[in-house]
Amino acid sequence: MTTIVGLKASDGAVLASDRRASKGFFIASKTTQKIMKVDDTLAVAVAGLLSDAVYLVNVVRAERKLISLRRGYPMSVAESAKLISNLFYSGMRNYIPYYAELIVAGVDDEGAHVYSSDMSGSIMAESFVASGSGSPVAYGVLESLYSENLTVEQARNIAVRAVEAAMQRDPGSGNGVDVLVIPVRGG
Amino acid sequence: MSMDPRFQMFYGPEGRMTLVDRALEAVMRGSISLGLRFPRYALIASMVKPTRKLMKPSDKVFTVDDHVGVTGSGYISDLYRVVDHMRLEAQRSRLLYDAPIDIGSLVDSVSGYFHEYTLYPVRPQGVAIIVAGVDKLGVQLFQVDPSGTAFAGDAFAVGMNSDKALDLIESEYSADMGLEDALKLVYSVVERTGNPEPAIQYGYITLDEKTFIRRSLGGNSKKATA
């Protein structure tokens, strides 16, 4: 279930999600937070098992803090994405996969980045990405509206429209849209 | 008053770590190694002891990863183990984070390795190392002792006559030196610390290239080593 999208803009990264949590044909919650802040420069959007995602976010938050204290400069988005992919991969290889798909978005010295990751451990850098049961509908909107070098404001509008469209046709998604904008520092 | 002999193994009557002090003595018997740091590059070098005509001298300068090099003085076999530890740690970072390790973390790790051997009734590492590398924080130079203590700085010397070598470097070092002048300084310091016409191995890394390069100078090893 769920619709989540992530977009890369020239001056930041954008995540958007719906708010519905499903238990089969029952709407378990209408106010679910599917976008989680890791820290000031990194966040993830979650499709799948929320508890697994929360655990991963906690691990990544601790690791990012620890690494930046130890070496004196922060972890890049790419390093963080690779860490998440390693956690996913070891879960899969041990027959206890983390049942989630994460869109990882953040900013660092190199600018804004969006990665898609899943329980197999694959990790891909994307310009825009959608995940969850509503993703085919969201992708229709993203494919027709996304272009390179958007501003975060433009990307934010497209992200909201993609999730709204998915909520119209996907029974697993609904109850409103959450958006998170991560601007590049000084942007 | 007699001291518990188990305790005496580690600390002498003055409270110094006896085994570590002896390890430092072993380092002082080794042929000299030097390290210099400048704003845009770092240079490390080590004297290669002359061997018999038909014998290939041991390497003294090592590539740890693309962006890190290390040299050292003392027992060469201990140095090999230390270098291997550093190489493993560097690759661990690449596997975990898909990123080259920062020099500070690498040095923390290897000083932990040294420190382990000061905690138990075993032989501490009989080697001191000098690490040069480039990371996001810039050009980095460190020294690590058998005690596990790490120092950051612009100039280091370990091994035989290293105190005298440091005196010479301190009076002749300037931050705006080019690589060629720095190499001349290093070579003449090795020469002036009791090693006429020495053979040295050296390595350098620049902020622009970010790749550690190994070379040889003097002796009968005029050829460059990759």
Give per-residue pLDDT as tens, A107-135.
Answer: 999 999 999 999 999 999 999 999 999 99
d(CA B99, CA A67): 12
Tell me the β-bridge partners of B224: none
In Å, how far is B136's CA from the nearest CA of chain A? 8
The residues in B 27-46 lying below 8 A from A, measured between CB atoms, are none
Q: Do B96 and A70 touch (CB under 8 A)?
A: no
Q: Which of B98, B99, B137 sits opposite A72 (nearest CB)?
A: B137
Kindly state whether B78 is in contact with chain A, defined as any CB-CB distance less than 8 angstroms: no
In this prediction, residues A90-113 reach a mean pLDDT of: 97
d(CA B27, CA B41): 26
Q: Which of A71, A79, A109 sits opposite B104 (nearest CB)?
A: A71
Helices (H), A5-127: 50-71, 77-93
Identify the pLDDT of residue B9. Answer: 75
Give per-residue pLDDT as tens, B140-192.
Answer: 999 999 999 999 999 999 999 999 999 999 999 999 999 999 999 999 999 99
Provide the pLDDT confidence category of residue B222 given band limits of 50, 70 and 90.
very low
Give per-residue pLDDT as tens, B42-63.
Answer: 999 999 998 888 998 899 999 9
Entry pTM: 0.84
In Å, how far is B26's CA from the nearest CA of chain A? 31
Q: Tell me the backbone φ, ψ of residue A57, rounded to 5 degrees.
A: -60, -40
d(CA B211, CA B96): 21
Segment (H or E) for B127: strand B127-135
Give per-residue pLDDT as tens, B18-33.
Answer: 999 999 999 999 999 9
In this structure, are residues A167 and A174 in contact, taking their beta carbons and an 8 Å threshold?
A: yes
d(CA A186, CA A180): 17
Residue whose token pair is 């612009």? B154
Q: Which of A70, A76, A86 sits opposite B99 (nearest CB)?
A: A76
Token reading at B1? 């008053």
Among the listed residues A2, A3, A32, A41, the single catalytic one is A2
d(CA B125, CA B13): 22
d(CA B23, CA B74): 9
Interface with chain B: mutation pick from A59, A71, A86, highest number of B CBs within 10 Å: A71
Kindly state whether A117 is in contact with chain B, defined as any CB-CB distance less than 8 angstroms: no
Going by C-alpha positions, the residue among B161, B156, B98, B113 that lies closest to residue B132 is B156
